Amino acid sequence: MSSAASTKPVSLVTGGAGFLGSHLCDRLLSEGHRVIAIDNLITGSIENIAHLAGNPDFRYIKQDVTQYLYIPDALDYIFHMASPASPIDYLELPIQTMKVGALGTHNALGLARAKNAALLLASTSECYGDPLVHPQTEDYWGNVNPIGPRGVYDEAKRFAEALTMAYHRFHKVDTKIVRIFNTYGPRMRLRDGRVVPAFIGQALTGQPITVFGDGSQTRSFCYVADLIDGIFRLMMSGFHEPVNIGNPHEMTIKQFAERIRDRVAPGAEIVYKPLPVDDPKVRQPDISRARRELGWEPKVSFDEGITRTIEYFRGRVTAAA
C-alpha cells in the first residue's frame, strides 16, 4: 500500500451493493475514502457497483453480515446499511430481515468496537409504525404492531437502534443512527415493491397504475443524493441520538400516481386495490434536528429528482425489452 493510500480514511459499507449502499460508496470515494463494500446480494446487485471495478480504493466482499465478519484492515467508519428494505423483500425474507437487524447489527457493532471505528446504523421511519403523531419527530416512540407482517422489519430496526445505543453507552462506541424516510432515485429495482419504481414501471410498460387503498395515505419522497449527503454529514458529526433524514414535502399516493401518469403515460388508468395490513396512513419527517445538528436539508426538487429517476427506469425497461 502506498503512503498516500494509507493516509486515506477507510470506510466499510454493509449492504454496499444495494440501492442506498452503492450511492454511499460513490460519495465516500468522492470524499477521498478507501471503501470496502460487503453484500451477499440477497437484494443488492453487482450491477450497482460494477462501475467501481478496477478502482484501487474500492473492494467488494461477498458475505452475509449475519456471519462472523473478518476484516484485517484498519477501519475508521462503518456504515451498516445491510437489510431488505421494501415490503416485498421483508415479506418474502422475514427471517433474514430479522437476522440482519439483530445478528448483523451485533456483528457490525462488535467490529466497530474492535477497530475503534465509528458506526452509523441505517434505521428507518418504519420505527414510527402507523404514527399517531404527525409529522414524526425523533422523540416519538412509534405505533408498531410487533406481530403483524411488517413487524419483522419494524422490530428488527427498533432492536438494532436499542443495541446500537447499548454499545454507545456501555462500550463507548462512537455511534450514529439515521432514520431514513422514503427515498428514490437511480439503482432502485424495478420490481422491488416500493411505490416509486412500481408506478414508473407500470406507466412505462403501458400497465394501469396500481394504488393501494383510496390513495389518501401520504408519503414524503427524498432524492437519493440528498439522503446520502445527510448520512455523510451525520457520520462526520458528534451527534449520537437518532436523526430523521427525508424530505418534509408531503403528498398523497393518489397525487403521486397522477404526477407519474401525467409525465410518463397521459391517459393511463389508475386502479385501486385493498390497503395492505398495517400500511402507514401518514409519513412525513420533522427534520428540525437535521437542520440544527447537521446543517442539512434536501436540495433536489421533486421534479428534478423524478425526471432523473424516470430516465433511469426508461433505460432499464428498454434494456429488458
CB-based burial of residue 30 (10 Å sphere; 0-12 exposed, 13-18 middle, 19+ buried)?
A: exposed
Instruction: Report DSSP letters for 184-209, one per residue.
Output: E-TT--TTSS-HHHHHHHHHHTTPPE
What count of other Cβ atoms lies within 10 Å of the Cβ of residue 2?
Answer: 8
Q: Determine the Cα angle at 79 with ends 296 and 233, to 5°.
A: 15
Beta strand pairing call for 250-252 and 218-220: antiparallel
What pLDDT score does 4 carry?
A: 53
Q: What is the pLDDT along the chain (321 residues), one digit of tens a residue?
A: 444 557 999 999 999 999 999 999 999 999 999 999 999 999 999 999 999 999 999 999 999 999 999 999 999 999 999 999 988 898 899 999 999 999 999 999 999 999 999 999 999 999 999 999 999 999 999 999 999 989 999 999 999 999 999 999 999 999 999 999 999 999 999 888 889 999 999 999 999 999 988 999 989 999 999 999 999 999 999 999 999 999 999 999 999 999 999 999 998 899 999 887 777 788 899 999 999 999 999 999 999 999 999 999 999 888 776
CA distance readout (Å), 22 to 7, 16, 65, 148, 200? 23, 5, 16, 30, 21
pLDDT number for residue 191: 83
Q: Which residue has the cell 400497465?
A: 207
Bridge partner residues of 211 (DSSP): 272
User: CA torsion, points 132, 155, 248, 282, in degrees to nearest 10?
Assistant: -40
Report how far residue 132's alpha carbon sits from residue 142's, in angstroms, rounded to the nearest whole number.
Answer: 8
Q: Which of 199, 163, 188 is nearest to 85 (CA)?
A: 188
Calculate the alpha carbon distances from 192 to 84, 86, 147, 199, 210 in Å: 10, 6, 23, 11, 14
| Pairwise CA distance, residues 317 & 321, whole Å | 6
What tens digit of pLDDT does each residue of 151-200 get?
A: 999 999 999 999 999 999 999 999 999 999 999 999 999 888 889 999 99
- pLDDT (0 to 100) of residue 321: 64
pLDDT for 276? 79
Q: Is 70 a catalytic residue?
A: no
Domains located in the chain, CATH noted: 3-187+224-247+284-298 (3.40.50.720)
8 neighbors 31 (Cβ within 8 angstroms): no
- What the block records as the C-alpha cell of 264 is 410518463
* pLDDT at site 277: 78
Tell me if residue 60 falls in helix, strand or coil: strand
Q: For position 282, what pLDDT does the model report?
A: 83
pLDDT for residue 3: 47
Element (H, E) at 35: strand 34-38
Place of cell 440501492: 19
Q: Are 44 and 18 in contact (CB under 8 A)?
A: yes
Name the residue among 179, 169, 174, 162 with its Cα closest to residue 85: 179
Q: Which of 60, 90, 153, 223 is catalytic?
A: 153
